[in-house]
Amino acid sequence: MSTQPSKELETFDNAMPDRDYTIHIETPEFTCLCPKTGQPDFATIKIDYVPDQKCIELKAYKLYIWSYRDQGAFHEKVTNQILDDLVAACEPRFMRVTGIFNVRGGVYTTVVAEHRKEGWIAPTPVQLP
């Protein structure tokens, strides 16, 4: 596998496709460039998803995230693009991508984008005493 930035996302078969469970991925060192100034933007990208038949392979995911380092991107666009690319790669039952961007000009930005597979209903959480 390459050690260069790449937009190619690899997947592997979900070992438990009959069960709803959540995979949480947190990337505290996301970087891209401000499309207006060219200055670096820093963020934490959080991904929560319920896989269906495929899961995202993590090294490919790291290389994918790395590919944004020198790319100009508005916070809203890049968060939604990450969601679109991950959904296209693994077709999850549910996915949420949260981009928590560091301060820029005195303003913090958090962008949340979601995908829900048609017909999928979230399980009811168990409430223990």
Residue 82 lies in a domain: yes
Q: Is 117 left (phi over 0), alpha (psi -120 to 50) or beta?
A: beta
> Which residues constitute the domain of residue 69?
22-116
Please identify which of the residues 13, 32, 41, 85 carries the catalytic annotation.
41
Q: Which helix (H) or strand (E) holds 66?
A: helix 58-66
Beta strands in the chain, from DSSP E residues, in sequence order? 11-13, 23-33, 40-50, 54-56, 94-104, 107-116
pTM for the model stands at 0.93
- Specify the pLDDT at position 129: 93
Residue 12 lies in a domain: no
Question: How many domains are there within the chain?
Answer: 1
Residue 106 lies in a domain: yes
- Concerning whether 90 is annotated as a catalytic residue, the answer is no
What six digits make up the tokens of 71? 């790319």
- Specify the pLDDT at position 1: 54
Residue 93 lies in a domain: yes
Please identify which of the residues 34, 48, 52, 85 carries the catalytic annotation.
34
Residue 92 lies in a domain: yes
- Concerning whether 55 is annotated as a catalytic residue, the answer is no
- Specify the pLDDT at position 51: 98
* CATH, residue 43: 3.30.1130.10
Instruction: Tell me which residue has tokens 């495929």.
Output: 54
Burial call 102-111: b when 16+ CB within 10 Å, e when fewer? eeeeeeebeb
